[in-house]
Structure 1
Amino acid sequence: MISFDDRHGPEDAAPPAAYPDLSVPDWYRDAKLGVFVHWGLFSVPAWADVLDRSDVTAQNAYARHQYAEWYANTVRIAGSPTRERHERLYGVGYSYEDFADDWHPAPDAAAGIVDLARRAGARYVVPTTKHHDGFCLWDSATTPFTAVRRGPSRDLIAEIADAVRDAGLRLGLYYSGAHDWHASEFPALTSNDELFALRRNDPQFAAFAAAQLRELIERFAPDLLWNDIDWPDAGKYGGPDSLQELFRAHLAAVPDGLVDDRWGVPVHGVLTREYQDIAEVQEEPFESTRGLGLSFGFNADESAEHALDGTALIRLLADVVSKNGNLLINVGPRADGSIPALQARALEELGEWLGRHGAAIYGTRPWFHDAVRVPPEGVRFTLGNDADGHAVLHALLLDPTAGPVTLDDQVSVAIREIAREPGRDGPVSLTPDPGERGVAVVTLPLR
């Protein structure tokens, strides 16, 4: 897995001191749950090769890419299952960009997507404004390759942004800073090395990317700028189109704004971890992101065997939050904007659970203690407050059906150091509500 915060360069680009303060704001740390929305041209073919992953290797992983939103790249790889299927269904002369005229979202699509995010308990929503294919979902003056000028004939980001703000949620915007396959002539990417090597770094492209990002900042004032992969190297020096000036413009528009870590510079906002399991409590806030299935964009061939159900999603949220993270869980709408039932059910179950146990998630902080740096099996902890504002330690039991959980001596002693005595010495036993689905919460008052 790639950790993007490890990637810095070029060496002679602007130093850390040239950038503004990118500290993670409290609103984000309190939010805990966001919904990513991968919706675009890739939602029309809605396919990636996932039926049999047993023979996927480092050598063929890009030809067998599991992300449906990578269709525009995978279809260009000779012999790939995507290329073979595309030519069979659409014909040899039909290009990926022809989907731009065949995409017709439903009139109420944006409202439906955001309403599901709200019901899931999300506190922020992050739609893709432009993925690597270069198709802009807002009314950009930089290119005619937009949703306004092609099939949808609408500013889809404006619709989503309005719905997000009407729902009282925070708005994030995803932007592909490193890749725009519509505006470049590189061959298809076939490896992680090429992911970073085959990208434009010239001043013209840096200015193009800066103009697009500036449009998004000025038009939508996003709370979170979520860039992907990297940023054109020519934009990492000084000048009005430099990345540090774009960050300043963002923070001027949104003083408590936030950026992620995928810019390829020696500073970052929130760390991102994609489809990664984090083993222990982290000192620095991070954001765990993944699809409900194997892909971010909708893949019509995914089924329940590939996807998180409601219980698994609740457990994932509890695990991530307990380790100092936010969960940015993705939905991949169909081309018309509807959310497949498999995804909707899991999110609705999560929302129902948060309706009962949100106090153990929202606004909490991780419990830092040597004994629980790696949490005990089946138990996660968060620090928060009860309804009266008193400090509490929440123990989240990942499998309530297993019955009471007795913690080992080291963890039990650590709990007794900060909690009011349950009444006796010895191991601490945590008993879940036997009727609880997903994750049970046992709240221990603190001194």
Structure 2
Amino acid sequence: MQREDNFTFLTEEPIPKVIGTMAVPTIISMLISNLYNIVDTYFVGQIDTQATAAVGIVFSLMFFIQAFSFFFGNGSGNYISRQLGARNRESAEQMASTALGYTLIFSIVLVVLGLLFLDEISVILGSTPTILPYTRQYLGFSLLGTPFLMCTLCMNNQMRFQGYARYSMYGIIVGALLNCMLDPLFIFGLDMGIRGAAIATVIGQIVGFAVMFRMSLHKDIIHYTPRNFSHRWLFVKEIIAGGTPSISRQGLASIATIALNVSASQFGDAAIAAMSIVNRIVMFIFSVIIGLGQGYQPMCGFSYGARHYERVKAGFWFCVKVGTAFLLFWSVVLFAFSDRAIGLFRNDVDVISIGIPALRYQLLSFPFWSFMIMANMMMQTCRKTLQANILAASRQGLFFIPLILVLPHCFGLLGVEICQACSDFVSLLVTIPIVFSAFREMHV
């Protein structure tokens, strides 16, 4: 009865109620998940500028790891939601275990390669000679939590696409809160420095995985079992089709962050630290919009699978309006208090002077993010793979990477600070025609 009620809820109940119910847990999950990086940046920022920069440098690789977590989680989750919407539960169950198995295998490979080439990776990520010792410590320990992090995020997304966003957030919350409590203890209490921040994060990830797996045992949620693991090409194809937009979106964001760190390094460690802090602040706000979009996706998937296309469109515009209002509010607040926002993480005159204009330029494109993110998620959920990949790649890939290579040569440090805003405006021009073209293809 519960499964039927969930189908009815997602395909028939009022859209604000459905998206609100689905989005609140995912927004909380995204905010809490971002606390890993916010808290590490805050406490490590009390050490020195080089340690702060190291956390920002490692963040680009962690973002890359998260991208593959979402590749498997979103790729399988999109398929699961469509299959449940079409009343085909058996296929959905096989997909869930198959994707989690691939996630575990891939994560172990990443850990081995990361530890074997630790110094080389640290330099590629943008470490300067003065930052490298910190990066080596922080990254070396952080990699050990990769299998737990990736499996947790995969399960989180699969549960969310089933319509059980509330259960999916528990593992994320518990792990992040534990990390917040352990950070000051390990960094200062046990005098472990930046290494303590990494260890606290790994412990949080292990506990978070345990809680997430416990949530998956709920009677109405698809359970994981080795006998459902399959090598069928159908499942691999669906994971690739539904997951590549996540790689395009977050994988290219990781590459963009690396390119940003390398460009900023020309202007000193303070520039790397400043851009790292700006990214933390922006990503924390951005996570709310991601969470809102993730709350829309289960309804979008079920409704698309049930051929309720007008509901797909109405849900899209509802999320765009709510997200835009939220971003406009924070644009005004952060513009007015840019100095305090940057100074909260690192009270360094050079860092603050670089961070203020960088943050304010990014705020100029804030109001358009909701439209672009909802468009990307709708395309991904409706299995419009080409359009989804174009949208996912545009903001921090197709446009940002070329711009970050060119603008600093033309405008110096200003080129680094304005790069993301310029990329966002060009991405918006690409997004508009793709969205309305997709709407025209949806016929009742």
TM-score (norm 2): 0.30
Higher RCO (CA-CA < 8 Å; seq separation 6+): 2
Structure showing greater Rg = 1
Larger strand fraction of residues: 1
